[in-house]
Amino acid sequence: MNGPDSERAWPMYRALVGVGMACGLLIAIVFAGTRPAIEQNRAEALERAVFAVLPGAERRVTLILTADGRVTPDVEAPGERFDAAFDADGNLIGAAIEASGMGYADTITLLYGYSPASETITGFRVLASRETPGLGDKIEKDPAFLANFEALDVSLDETGMSLRNAIETVKPRAKSEPWQIDGITGATISSDAVGEILTRSTARWVPLIVENRDEIAARGRDEAR
């Protein structure tokens, strides 16, 4: 565009660019200013969730599982994070593990507690979900569904390397085995997704926690001293 029209349009372009830059700068400043509070709130919510999924826990220690299967308290080490929870005397209560997978609407991220003593999942909390309000979000609120995870069997077979029985989601009120989950009427996909997420995660994590149980327990005794 040339001539008078171009000259009239140039100030508008400059104004738009200036407004865009100012808005971008403002967003960056707000994000930088609120990020510490967001991270603090997330950490506090995670801590509450850890104690909720591991009844009897008084303290927690964040540990890292390294690629070669070692457990270390060095949270800067490369690997996967989990939380070990202990009673007031430093005895191991269990491990709290994050897991995620696709639900009906989007990714579901959850936290579950595992007790090596009882070989069960002892609790379950949804950390992030966009499931349909009033239907899919029942995985977070339905008392009957949440009761599935108070003592859900995830015992290992004779090899100690695999679950004896994979977690199975069944129709509502059809549960007959300790490794089964009663699904939710009207939220079949969401409740099935929870079962699938837990099946994949426990199949991997339970053998690792059992294998490293003594090392994990020692971290609790170290903290108690």
Euclidean distance between the first and final Cα of the chain, in Å? Answer: 77
Do 142 and 79 belong to one domain? yes
Show the domain range for 15.
1-46
Do 40 and 11 belong to one domain? yes
Do 204 and 109 belong to one domain? yes
Do 216 and 122 belong to one domain? yes
pTM: 0.78
Q: What is the pLDDT of residues 153-177, one digit of tens each?
A: 999 999 999 999 999 999 999 999 9
Find the range with the poorest average confidence among 85-99, 121-135, 191-205. 121-135
- Domain count of the chain? 2
- Nearest in space to 156 (alpha carbons), one of 130, 184, 179: 179
Lookup: tokens for 224: 């108690």
Do 5 and 115 belong to one domain? no
Better-predicted residue by pLDDT, 178 or 188: 178
Lookup: tokens for 159: 């090899």
* Cβ proximity of 82 and 66 under 8 Å: no
Do 180 and 77 belong to one domain? yes
Q: What sign results for the dihedral spanned by CA atoms 63, 100, 163, 185?
A: positive
What would the mean pLDDT of 71-86 be, rounded to a whole number?
Answer: 90
Question: Whole-angstrom Cα distance, residue 47 to residue 158?
Answer: 34
Do 112 and 60 belong to one domain? yes
- 99 phi and psi, to 5 degrees? -150, 155
